[in-house]
Structure formats: structure tokens, C-alpha cells
Amino acid sequence: MIRLVVERIGTSLVALLGATFFTFLALRVMPGDPARLFLGPFATPEALTALNQELGLDKPLPQQFLTFVSDFLTGDWGRSYSTGEQVTTLLADRFPATLELGLYAFLLTLIGAVSLAVLAAYRRGPVSEGGPRLLSMFALGVPQFWLGLLLLMLFFEYLGIAPGPNGRLSLGATPPPTITGFFTIDALIAGDFATFADAFAHLVLPAIALGLFPLGFLLRLLRANLLDVVDEPFVMVARSRGVPRFLAFVRHVLPNAFIPTLTAAGLILGQLLAGSVLVERVFNWPGAGALVANGVLRQDFSVVQTFVLLSAVIYLVASLIVDLLAAWIDPRLRPSSDAQ
């Protein structure tokens, strides 16, 4: 396992460096001038030159890249070109909201997919199989932003049982004392159950809108794997030795079928944490998605590069954890010397 950890960390660092470089290069080759966008169309050439020098944009690209990487590692993430604020301040205000929404959507995805797939594979029947199949088809065919609008129209506008698109809390509500940045957890730590209920209620609809598509994907994947494994000879051998059907399903079928789903879940977690821009727009969620989208349009290099690098770190850490869990479940996935 130690060898596996070292190998995965090495490949993750290479992937992280590659993602950083290509993001850096893509932003630089985009048409437009950040200094012009910042100063406006009537800025003088002297003012543009002075701002480019101040921002370091007049230096060669390799030097700019090395400066960015070294500054990131030392905690100096620069300033936003468009607002003048420190990038650390902007992301500290917004990134926890994106993480909280992404993690709740992931929990919904994983719990829902596993529960429905196990039901469909264990209790074979028209209802238990047809219901999850229809849900997965619907989830895979509906755009996330459209689903968000539909959920708002149904549960907020017509039924009035869900809060509106006003962010993480109701208007006039006071956020809990900041400890983790997650309103639900911070409210529980503070013992403020009313704020917890309010924050959780505001998470439900955007989490469903964000998590339904990957739920449909994981549901189809796990159900197909369960149906493949349930007829394997080792399952029949376990049943022939008197192991009850449910115990054989949980002990032998589910772990073997879950490994591809676990790998896909790690990829989905990274996507949910970094790809919620449209859902955040629909629900006026004060996350990093809108900040980064505006940063791309304004060529706000510091904001976009830092967000991509942080997202890549989270994505790679999630992938590392998933690889270790998969190797722990199935020794065949470990390096040959460890598996023996």
C-alpha cells in the first residue's frame, strides 16, 4: 500500500503541474488585454504599459509561470485584476459555499445511486427495476440548469414549500460563526438549530439539481455491475454453503461490483466541486462558480488560475483516496509485490 501511495502521489503531482500549465497558457492566448479590460477603452498607452508592468504581464511567459507557481506555494495568490482584492480573500468568501453544495450533492448522488441500484438488483421485478431505470434515463437527459429552474417553479413558486433563490440563508438571517465555512456544520457546532434548518433547506434544491445527473450515471453503472456479479460462480458457491441470499449479496456481490462505481464516484466528486457554475447562477448561490466565470470573461488570471489549481488539488486528492479504497477492497488492484 505504501508503494501504491507513492506512485499515486507522483502521478498526481505530474497531473497537477500539467493542469496548471495548460490553464496558464490557455488564459494567455485568449484574445483581449487584461489591462485594457481593467482600465477601460479610453486608457492611454502609458497607463496600459504601467499596469502591465505592475501586474507582471510584460515578462516572458515562462517567467510568469514560474512566478505564479512559486507565489502559489508560498501563499501569495495575487490580486484580482478586476476588483483589486486579494484572491485569497475572494476565494475564502466563496469557495466554502461551492464546497458545501458540491459535497451535499455528492452525498445525494452516492446514497441515492447505491440504494436504488441495490434495490433494483436484489429485488428483481417490474417496479424495482423499472423505477430506477426511468429515473436514470430522466437524470441523464435533463440539463442541470433547466432542472434547477423546474424545481424552483414547482417547489418554490407553486407549492411554496422550499426557499427561493436567495443564496445560502433566508433574507435577514444571520450566518453562524465561521469555523468550517459550511453553514450547516457551523450552525450545529454553535447549537443554532434554526439556522441549520434554514441553511439545509436552501441546500436541498440546488443539491438535487446538481447531483441528479451523476446519480443517474452511477445508478446505471452500479446496477449493471451488480447484475453481472450476482451470477458469478463464487456467489453460487457461497449460496451452496448455506450463506443466506441477502448476506451473500452484501458480503460478496456488492464489494466486487462497487469498485468501478467507487472509481467513477471519485471523478464525479471533483466535477461536482468545480462544475457548479450554472446551478449557482440559477439559485443565486454565492459560490466560486460565478466568480470564476466572470474571471474568464475578464481575463482575471489570478482568480481563474488559483481556482483551477485548488480544484485540481481537490480532484487529485479525491482520486487518490478512491484508489486507496479500491485497493483496500480488492487486493488485485495493488502493486504485484503488495498483492502477493
The three three-digit cell numbers of residue 169, written as one number: 440563508
Provide the angle, in degrees to the nearest 10, between the axes of the packed helices 2-29 and 61-73: 130
Cβ–Cβ < 8 Å for 128, 119: yes
The DSSP call for residue 86 is B
Look up residue 238 and give its amino acid. A
> Which residues does the chain have with pLDDT short of 70?
1-2, 4-5, 30-33, 37, 40, 125, 127-128, 273-275, 329-340
Domain positions in the chain are: 94-290
Tell me if the pTM is above 0.75: yes
Average pLDDT taken over every residue of the chain = 81
Q: Which residue has the cell 450515471?
A: 217
The three three-digit cell numbers of residue 271, written as one number: 466535477
Question: The domain 94-290: what is its CATH number?
Answer: 1.10.3720.10
- C-alpha–C-alpha distance, residues 177 and 35, integer Å: 38
pLDDT the model gives residue 154: 92
For the four alpha carbons of 273, 214, 141 and 113, in that order, the dihedral sign comes to: negative
- C-alpha–C-alpha distance, residues 218 and 283, integer Å: 25
Using alpha carbons only, what angle is made at residue 217 by residues 211 and 220, rounded to the nearest 5 degrees?
135
Question: Which residues 6+ apart lie within 8 Å of 287 measured at CB?
Answer: 94, 95, 97, 98, 101, 276, 280
State the burial class of residue 101 (Cβ atoms within 10 Å of its Cβ: 0-12, 13-18, 19+).
buried
- C-alpha–C-alpha distance, residues 248 and 245, integer Å: 5
The count of residues in the chain is 340
Identify which of 261, 264, 269 has the alpha carbon closest to the alpha carbon of residue 311.
269
